[in-house]
Chain A
Amino acid sequence: MLSIASHALARAGRATWTWGLVALLALIAAVSRADDNPPPAGPAAEPSALVLPTVALRGDGAGIELYDALHASPLLAHLSKEAPGSPIQLLVYHTVRPAHVDAKNVFSGLAAVATLGLSPVVMSGEHSMHYELYVNGQQVLRREYTANLSRKEYLNSKAADATHGLGPDGEVWAKSTVDLFLKDLAHDPAVRAMNEEYQLYFGNAVSGAAPPAVPTQH
């Protein structure tokens, strides 16, 4: 069911415009859920004493689901879902680059239609978890971890997809990308330079709470 080839990519390269699959994926997309539970005490390995200041987390459903795993790391101890004014923002999201239309997809798609949804559609594609760190809109770090996933989707399934399109195995994979990202984050020279500049101007200031709002640059 799940074949994983996880690696960091500097930049996405190919375009695969398959409108039908795009529409199909959009139709079964789930509405995300924000989880405000405190972080678990689990480990998140990065061999560094670096502790970043307040970092605002933004993302789609799959990205926000990783809040606890990210926040458990000392590196991101000040990660917050409610700090829209922070100059440092971490954007975490999931995308799908649809696979080429192969016989398996075509057959399962036709079978699903013919059985009015009793037979599942097998969807495969290159799933990516994106991690992008910005300072006032300028990108400091970008990492993309990919895996080729295939999963079954029933056309007549009415339940919202709590896995945000990843599937159960995909959820496990998405969580596994957190440690990869934390290692990259801890060792990135641009991130260290950003942290040093923050300390220079603001010391150890971690800003307090205020009602969440949405800033925009003018």
Chain B
Amino acid sequence: MRKWAVALAALWMVMGSPPVSLGAEGVTLPKDLPLPTDASVAIYLPKHIREFRNPFRSGGGFQTTNALQLGASFEELTLGAAQHFFKTSFMYEPTGTPAFGLLVAIHPSLKREDQQVIATAHYQVYDGGGASLMQGDTLIRWAPGSPARGPDYLGNLSEQAITRALTEIVAQLRPTASKYPSQGEAAVKIEKLIDREHPAVSGTGFFLNRSGQILTAAHVVHDCASVDVHYGKDSVAATTTANSALLDLAVLETHANSEHFLRLRDHAELAESVINVGFPLQTLMTDTPTVTRGTLSSRAGLSGSVGQFQFSAPIQPGASGGPVVDVRGNVLGVAVGTLNASELLKSGVLPQNVNFALESRYVEKFLQQHSVLFTEGSADAHAPGEVSIDEVLPAVVSIKCYQ
């Protein structure tokens, strides 16, 4: 059986890959417009798409480069589709993008709905001077039983959605180099291109002082084109002013007037009660904080980790950067991760409430290193003065990263 499968694959190899088909249903390409056109196009794809990688399976045999580095493959696939329409096409970069006649910002997505896989591509088009020309959405469905092109049918669905978007653009704008000449100094700023409806990453943070400086996890704000902080009914833009990938910490500057902020306490005790405040699952839940209780269950984290403790208060995706506080509202640590339950389940283990936080003493050292003002709380774990959670909540913020 195996050799016949291999033989079939060998024959398939001889046949090669299917060509990309031009055009799209319901859209007619102008016959008098020679393709590829001489207009040049820059294409913007969000960074989290460009850098997306297939989950790496340890010890799973070798794979093709494209199967692993999906983001890079997607970039190539997009440029490949563009080359059918434009003689000159390249990726837009925030700095150093060559002159272009058109800029197409594409926000692709994939979702499952009623056993169908739906690929969409929202697009916006600007000329070289920054004027908005058009925008639209394309949608391609794949249902079980439909013919799929090879193992990467998801990539092919996205490719079809992008090809359809480019077809619509060319059909409507009939771009040529004389109509849309390349312009040297790009007038289109990245703020115009980002998707403000769907944050690429969301997380949690908390105010460190009255000056509006916020502490969060570095991975929440890594590679964001724009960061928004939401607290109470307010929302402000934020910029990263200090960052450590090693500690997974970042400080955000908001210039907000923060009456409420949290104090740090650097000597946590084993088995003491802890509370985690976070904004998890922000695409599903309302934008209100979630509070969970537990204990500091171990002074050490996973094998190989440094500076972490383990706590049992449940956390969900989106809780990263949130404070783990004692009963007096002092920050004992910053939530940075949990065990990957789905991976462990494959080996028959179901972990429960095994979560990790970076100890406050490393947070303090990081803040001192970057001259960020903070206040130390009482080091005594048994000091009186239990506070209501209502005193903690106003200092905790929701963070959204856009690309």
Contacts A23-B9, A213-B339 given; indicate if A101 touches B14 (C-beta within 8 A). yes
The one of B17, B61, B77, B365 that contacts A61, using a Cβ cutoff of 8 Å: B61
CB distance from A78 to the nearest CB of B (A): 9
The one of B73, B307, B340 that contacts A214, using a Cβ cutoff of 8 Å: B340
Structural contact, A216 and B16, CB atoms closer than 8 A: no
Q: Which residues of A contact B3 (CB under 8 A)?
A: 116-117, 155-156
Which B-chain residue is minimally distant from A140 (CB atoms)? B245
CB distance from A131 to the nearest CB of B (A): 13
B338 at the interface (CB under 8 A from A): yes
Structural contact, B303 and A212, CB atoms closer than 8 A: yes
Q: Which residues of A contact B57 (CB under 8 A)?
A: 60
Which A-chain residue is minimally distant from B74 (CB atoms)? A15
Structural contact, B304 and A217, CB atoms closer than 8 A: no
Q: Which residues of B contact A148 (CB under 8 A)?
A: none
**Interface pick from B62-70, B256-264, B324-332:** B62-70
Q: Which residues of A contact B348 (CB under 8 A)?
A: none
Structural contact, B56 and A58, CB atoms closer than 8 A: yes
The one of A17, A61, A105, A210 that contacts B66, using a Cβ cutoff of 8 Å: A17
Which B-chain residue is minimally distant from A112 (CB atoms)? B10
Contacts A24-B6, A214-B340 given; indicate if A83 touches B304 (C-beta within 8 A). yes
**Interface pick from A25-33, A43-51, A69-77:** A25-33
B247 at the interface (CB under 8 A from A): yes
A172 at the interface (CB under 8 A from B): no
Structural contact, A31 and B61, CB atoms closer than 8 A: yes
The one of B65, B306, B316 that contacts A205, using a Cβ cutoff of 8 Å: B306
8 CB contacts below 8 A, A to B, read A23-B13, A29-B62, A60-B61, A84-B302, A138-B219, A138-B222, A165-B61, A211-B303
A6 at the interface (CB under 8 A from B): no
Number of residues from B at the complex interface, CB < 8 A: 78
Structural contact, A15 and B77, CB atoms closer than 8 A: yes
Q: How far apart sit A25 and B62, CA to CA, in the bound complex (Å)?
A: 8
CB distance from B282 to the nearest CB of A (A): 12
Q: Which residues of A contact B5 (CB under 8 A)?
A: 27
Structural contact, A207 and B304, CB atoms closer than 8 A: yes
Q: Which of B146-187 contact A (CB under 8 A)?
A: 149-152
Structural contact, B248 and A87, CB atoms closer than 8 A: yes
A91 at the interface (CB under 8 A from B): yes
Q: Which residues of B contact A194 (CB under 8 A)?
A: 246
Structural contact, B7 and A18, CB atoms closer than 8 A: no
Q: Which residues of A contact B219 (CB under 8 A)?
A: 136-138, 217
Which A-chain residue is minimally distant from B77 (CB atoms)? A15
A186 at the interface (CB under 8 A from B): no
Q: How far apart sit A91 and B56, CA to CA, in the bound complex (Å)?
A: 9
Give B contacts to A, CB under 8 Å: 2-3, 5-7, 9-17, 56-69, 72-73, 76-77, 80, 149-152, 217-219, 222, 244-248, 280, 300-308, 315-320, 335-340, 343-344, 351, 354-356, 362, 365-366, 369
Give the interface residue-count category, chain A.
35 or more
Structural contact, B303 and A109, CB atoms closer than 8 A: no
Q: Which residues of A contact B308 (CB under 8 A)?
A: 85
Contacts A29-B61, A214-B339 given; indicate if A20 touches B11 (C-beta within 8 A). yes
Give A contacts to B, CB under 8 Å: 11-12, 14-15, 17-34, 53-54, 56, 58-62, 64, 80, 82-87, 91, 93-98, 101, 105-106, 109-110, 112-113, 116-117, 121, 128, 135-138, 140, 155-156, 158, 164-166, 194, 197-198, 200-202, 205, 207-218
CB distance from A56 to the nearest CB of B (A): 5
CB distance from A171 to the nearest CB of B (A): 12
CB distance from B268 to the nearest CB of A (A): 17
Which A-chain residue is minimally distant from B79 (CB atoms)? A15
Structural contact, B61 and A30, CB atoms closer than 8 A: yes
Structural contact, B365 and A201, CB atoms closer than 8 A: yes
Q: Which residues of B contact A166 (CB under 8 A)?
A: 62
Structural contact, B13 and A64, CB atoms closer than 8 A: no
Which B-chain residue is minimally distant from A84 (CB atoms)? B302
The one of B14, B59, B369 that contacts A32, using a Cβ cutoff of 8 Å: B59
Structural contact, A215 and B306, CB atoms closer than 8 A: no
Q: How far apart sit A53 and B307, CA to CA, in the bound complex (Å)?
A: 14
The one of B16, B67, B365 that contacts A101, using a Cβ cutoff of 8 Å: B16
Structural contact, A113 and B61, CB atoms closer than 8 A: no
Q: How far apart sit A217 and B17, CA to CA, in the bound complex (Å)?
A: 37
Q: Which residues of B contact A34 (CB under 8 A)?
A: 59
Structural contact, A112 and B303, CB atoms closer than 8 A: no
Top 5 A-B residue pairs of the complex, sorted by shortest distance between their CB atoms: A85-B302, A83-B304, A20-B13, A20-B12, A85-B305
Q: Which residues of A contact B67 (CB under 8 A)?
A: 22
Q: How far apart sit A95 and B304, CA to CA, in the bound complex (Å)?
A: 28
Structural contact, B303 and A135, CB atoms closer than 8 A: no
Structural contact, A215 and B338, CB atoms closer than 8 A: yes
CB distance from B2 to the nearest CB of A (A): 7
Which B-chain residue is minimally distant from A164 (CB atoms)? B62
Which B-chain residue is minimally distant from A87 (CB atoms)? B246
